[in-house]
Structure 1
Amino acid sequence: MLLMRQGPLAGRYPAVAVMVTFALIPYLALSAAIEPLVPTITDQLDMSAQAMSLSLGLGNAAYAAGTVLAVQLAQHLPQRRMLLVYAVVLVTGAVLAAGARTGAMFTCGLILLGLATSMLLIAAAPPLTIGFPKQRLRHTAMIMNMCVFGAVALGPFLGGVQSAADEWRPLFWVIAAVALLALLMAVLTFDDAPPADPDAPRDLRAIGLAAAGCVLAFVGASALTTHALTDIEVLGPMLAGLVLIVVLIVYQFRSPRPLLTIRSVLTSSIPVAGVGVALFAAAGSVAATTLTANALMEHLSPLRVGILYLPELGGAIVMAVVFGTVISRRAVHFLPLIGMALLAVGILVFQLALPANQPLVMLGAALTGLALGATVAPALFVVGFSLRSNSLQRVFAVIELLRAVAAFMVAPVLAHFALTVATDRSVGTSYALWIGFALAVAGAVFGVAIYAASGARPSTPDVDRFLDGEEPGWLSPPLLARIRKVPTSALSGQPKSATARLTHPRLDGPVPGASGPICFAYDGSDLADKAITRAAGHFAEDRDAIVVCVWQPADVGFPPTSDLHLDANNAAAVRRAAELTSARGADLAETVGFRARGVAVEAAPTWQGILTAAEEHRAGVIVIAPHRRAGILGHIQGSVAATVAANSSIPVLVMPTADSVEPGERDESSDHYPRPQQMAAPI
């Protein structure tokens, strides 16, 4: 096996932060700078306007689809070595584009730049977020905001400067130099890391759906340069691409071992609100920036327009600082809402600025910069805090995939609309700006409505718990919990808060339940064994049953049932141990009269995995044994059993265990089993 030493700057936060910054800036800045350079590039490379639009579309498609590919590769290949590969691809793409002699060579360069950038984002950004002490989290939030939106805000100025010189290659060579610095820093900060899960399924279907969907959607949108929106050359690929992306989402939602965390994101209120706000902001901001800049260039030079948009960079910087300040506070929930309001106001200011009111353009740019810094990146972290930190790569992938589709597809559609809806481009742009305004307002209303309908309450994230990987940073209630009348104990906004409301049923006769199988929540403990044996006296013989053991990498979720050493960081080993544990529980259930089979479920938190398995198998009742804590902790912290009962739409039978706990079974002052390396709280 090839052994690689650590780089001299491995583990040093400033160096890793610089590497991430250099890795993300090139393509993101270039994507915002290239518009005024298009005439020069097409003339020198003998490209048609349609060919140039296709090149840009394919680069954006590569960026969107690369997020999914990066997550898959992280499961099976050494992650830091792959980061070096991505950095090499970034440099290669930049050099190809800068030195292009043909349109095909230029297009290949853009595709590699887009692909490498998204893969670097997935490979490098989550470790920067969770791989350092919590004191660094605020700096990471600022860096992520500046890398994405600071670079985008700087793009128009860079493009204007280069356009004034009637050149384009110098800017691309600067981009190549920055990419080379990113590669150098990746080498200097190298710290070899194993694959996340070598035994994970190779989900080629998900990668194929993402790639085909993005390519078709962006190819169709790029055809708007020479075709009408209703032409089959445009509408066919766009609709086909969007359908494939929807199929990808449904497929991942239903998959028992998904590549992306679609189910966790779409069934929980705060993630749905965060993703929705990010998509509305990405789509609405296009009208506030690209369309207005294009309209202004009919009256002003690209350099002048770029200078007028510099306040956008200032706004992004200010909001990055604000985001870093509030990321560990309750106020982080409100930042995306404030951003959507700023975006709506900024669009109204741009409306007043048309056709070329320069002071108002600068004010609108400043408001838009503030809005961008307050929406997408904060929404991303709000979603991340709602899930376990070991899902962060997949969370980033989901959001960036959808955000890229929303932003890069809406731009050409609105540009086409602005050009065709009226003979005067300023008038058409004004109409398009109203669409952007509507998107901004809709995003704000959507986020508030999801919180209200689900009973989600803004709370301060528990950063320590999140970074440790034990639990999400806060509890996100089930989606639309209030409308679906989930018990109020599930709406407290804090984890494990329902214990006081949970009571034991009287077990003085058979429990009929529903017709579905019994779902035993099983962690391999003695208490879980006794819950199965005691349940046999309250259900009919030969009743179908599933014995569910919930697991996750790093924070295992159950005590090992064998004496073998368990590497908690090896997902395959943990899954195999969970399968053995559930099989042991199923054997016990068989001996006491049930027709049982074991089910191992990867999920976090544990209660969600239990409910998911029960719903998928159409269980009639859930049987669970609580592990109680003694003293005051037992009253204020609750248990997984309480949270299952609070959130379940299926009857929950909590088996009393107090009269059957034997001395020495476990330490009643603790809610943790002995850990092989790391263990999560058991059921």
Structure 2
Amino acid sequence: MRERGPLAGRYPAVATMVALALIPYLVLSAALQPVMPIISQQLHMSTEEINLAGGLANAGYALGTVLSVQLAQHLPQRRMLIVYATILVIGSVLAAAANGPALFITGHVLQGLCTSLLLIAAVPPLVTGFPLAKVRPTAVIMNLSIFGGVALGPLIGGIQAEANGWRPLFWVIAGIAAVALVLVVLTFQDVPPAAPDATRSPVAVVLAASGCVAAFFGATQLLTRKSLDASTLAPLTAGVALIGILLVQQDRAKRPLLTVRPMTSTLPVAGVLAAMSAAAASVSAIALIGVLLQDRFSPLRLGLVFLPEFAGAVITALVFGAVFATRGLHYFALTGMASLSAGIALVAASVPPSTTVALIGTTLIGIGVGASVTPALFIAGFSLRNIALQRVFAIVELLRAVSAFMITPILLYIATTVGSRPSDGLRTTLWICLGISVGGTLLAIALYALGGVRPPAPALQRWFGGEPAWDSPPLLTKVRRGAHRPEPPTETNAPTAF
């Protein structure tokens, strides 16, 4: 008999564990901006070092999506979950107790890396490892945990900055990570590797690691140096190129680590495009709005301006649960993109925005993000067999992280260099955010139209039985001949129940 913890197989405990494992870094990623000057002063960190900490942590998050899939193939998945949660606690303690730049950067990078390791290792089994009736609440919990945590970040960071401190926040985050570790142990259920005979993919991991580190390092240099030179452009362009090479290499590999080829049909591509554009536009817009208002409000009042974003995330999580198993899932994602675009346009049209405009704008952005990214992720996931869900999540999260965390520094750089006044540059970059959001929406709609897709309802029973929840036609079916639907993945491994 395999080892089991006392809470193994109990859905509430497992769902709580997954939520607490994701919350620490996601909250910090949005809460750091107001406390960064305090951290820099108390730990004697230069602007370059504090930007490097954030950039490398985001690179770790992006890398972890690929690394988690690789490790799951050859190592016992639940035992690795304990390892990931333990390292997350260690990283959180290192960051909270840091007395200098080295410990803080190391701890924060471990937080980013382990969060994505946990996300890819824990969320797919939570979706597929319990009865069908649990899929809907899982989708709601996942949506609220990810985007609710991010939406609360500015307020939490503002409260901490108002108190002129940062360690209490980091110690609370470490405490949450410790509770998540305890729940990982209590819900332990030993399961074997997903595919011990699968081909190892060191090339994919090396490409992901080098690409993410180079791209995010180059992006953070824009914030530090505020100049376009070889030291900035070389790593940035090289990193983006390496991530592109990773996708091409995996598409052509005979036994790939990532399911790139099966995701090149209409619905997965549309879902990925929507998730990428929504993430890039929303994260950048929130950062730009923060810069717009930071001179007018105290950190606490600025955090309160962003509080409606959390309300929007809660509303969309509940509505998401209602439309999750219907054809309304597709229209819900479209509505989210429209709401995101409306929120950005409202703020961009009234730079500098009044408090009322900022509150309405952040509400619409919160609704937009919650109603677009997670639905788009499931649109991609339902297009393949459920055994591929872990790999689908990995690809979507990799591209979403690269889009969100790499584009933001670039737009912040543009905001400081365009126009004769700071407000001119900020207005320009907000319009760029709007262009990203609207462009992603129109591209996704065009793919549906050119693929001849009438938005279907997911056949969840069929999906749980091992087949795609719907048929996704080849890309551009209506405008090309001889199109063939990509073959679904042939691997027999499936995420195992918790």
**TM-score bracket, shorter-length normalisation:** over 0.9
Q: What's the counterpart of residue 553 of structure 1?
A: 492
1:366-401 deviation line (CA, Å, top 9, x unaligned): 101100001111100000000000000000000000
Q: Is the 8 A contact 1:288 1:346 kept in 2?
A: no
1:106-150 deviation line (CA, Å, top 9, x unaligned): 000011000100000001000111111121111111111111111
Q: Distance in 1 between matches of 2:185 and 2:168?
A: 26
1:367 is aligned to 2:306: no
Q: Is the 8 A contact 2:155 2:306 kept in 1?
A: yes
- Larger mean CA deviation between 450-459 and 74-83 belongs to 450-459
Q: CA RMSD in A?
A: 1.8
Given the superposition, is the C-alpha separation of residues 401 and 549 from structure 1 closer, same or farther in structure 2, using an over 3 Å criterion? closer
Q: Distance in 2 between matches of 1:74 and 1:225?
A: 36
Given the superposition, is the C-alpha separation of residues 220 and 249 from structure 1 closer, same or farther in structure 2, using an over 3 Å criterion? same
Q: Is the 8 A contact 1:31 1:155 kept in 2?
A: yes
Q: Distance in 1 between matches of 2:87 and 2:383?
A: 33
Which of 469, 473, 478 matches 1:477? 473
Q: By how many angstroms is 1:351 displaced? A: 2.0
What letter matches 1:272 in structure 2? V
What letter matches 1:400 in structure 2? E
Q: What's the counterpart of residue 451 of structure 1?
A: 448
1:62-101 correspondence runs (5 A): 62-101=60-99
Q: Is the 8 A contact 1:330 1:461 kept in 2?
A: yes
What letter matches 1:406 in structure 2? S
Q: Distance in 2 between matches of 1:417 and 1:133?
A: 49
Q: What's the counterpart of residue 162 of structure 2?
A: 164
Q: By how many angstroms is 1:160 displaced? A: 0.2
1:385-420 deviation line (CA, Å, top 9, x unaligned): 000000000000000001100000011011111111
Question: Size of the alignment, in residue pairs?
Answer: 495
Given the superposition, is the C-alpha separation of residues 4 and 177 from structure 1 closer, same or farther in structure 2, using an over 3 Å criterion? farther
Q: Which gives a bigger RCO, structure 1 or 2 (Cα 8 Å, sep 6+)?
A: 2
TM-score, normalising length from structure 1?
0.71
Q: What's the counterpart of residue 23 of structure 2?
A: 25
Q: By how many angstroms is 1:353 displaced? A: 4.8
Question: Helix, strand or coil: the match of 1:334?
Answer: helix
1:64-104 deviation line (CA, Å, top 9, x unaligned): 00110000000000000000100001101100000001101
1:226 is aligned to 2:224: yes
Q: Distance in 1 between matches of 2:404 and 2:10?
A: 34
The higher radius of gyration belongs to: 1
1:544-592 deviation line (CA, Å, top 9, x unaligned): xxxx99954169xxxxxxxxxxxxx99xxxxxxxxxxxxxxxxxxxxxx
Q: Is the 8 A contact 1:149 1:373 kept in 2?
A: yes
1:214-613 correspondence runs (5 A): 214-266=212-264, 268-469=265-466, 471-485=467-481, 551-553=490-492
More helix by share: 2
Q: Is the 8 A contact 2:67 2:117 kept in 1?
A: yes
Q: By how many angstroms is 1:326 displaced? A: 0.7
Q: Is the 8 A contact 2:51 2:224 kept in 1?
A: no
Question: Helix, strand or coil: the match of 1:199?
Answer: coil
Could you list the runs of 5+ residues in structure 1 that have no partner in the other structure?
492-547, 556-568, 571-683
What letter matches 1:278 in structure 2? A
Q: Is the 8 A contact 2:222 2:228 kept in 1?
A: no
1:47-126 correspondence runs (5 A): 47-126=45-124
Q: What's the counterpart of residue 641 of structure 1?
A: none
What letter matches 2:387 in structure 1? N
TM-score, normalising length from structure 2?
0.97
Q: Distance in 2 between matches of 1:75 and 1:440?
A: 36
Given the superposition, is the C-alpha separation of residues 314 and 195 from structure 1 closer, same or farther in structure 2, using an over 3 Å criterion? same
Q: By how many angstroms is 1:442 displaced? A: 0.4
Q: Is the 8 A contact 1:153 1:369 kept in 2?
A: yes
1:419-455 deviation line (CA, Å, top 9, x unaligned): 1113422221111100011111101101011111111
Q: By how many angstroms is 1:325 displaced? A: 1.0
Q: Distance in 1 between matches of 2:452 and 2:488?
A: 29
Q: Distance in 1 between matches of 2:221 and 2:490?
A: 47
Q: Is the 8 A contact 1:153 1:310 kept in 2?
A: yes
Question: Helix, strand or coil: the match of 1:34?
Answer: helix
Given the superposition, is the C-alpha separation of residues 328 and 40 from structure 1 closer, same or farther in structure 2, using an over 3 Å criterion? same
What letter matches 1:63 in structure 2? Y
Q: By how many angstroms is 1:247 displaced? A: 0.5
Q: What's the counterpart of residue 152 of structure 1?
A: 150
Quick one: percent identity of the two aligned structures?
52
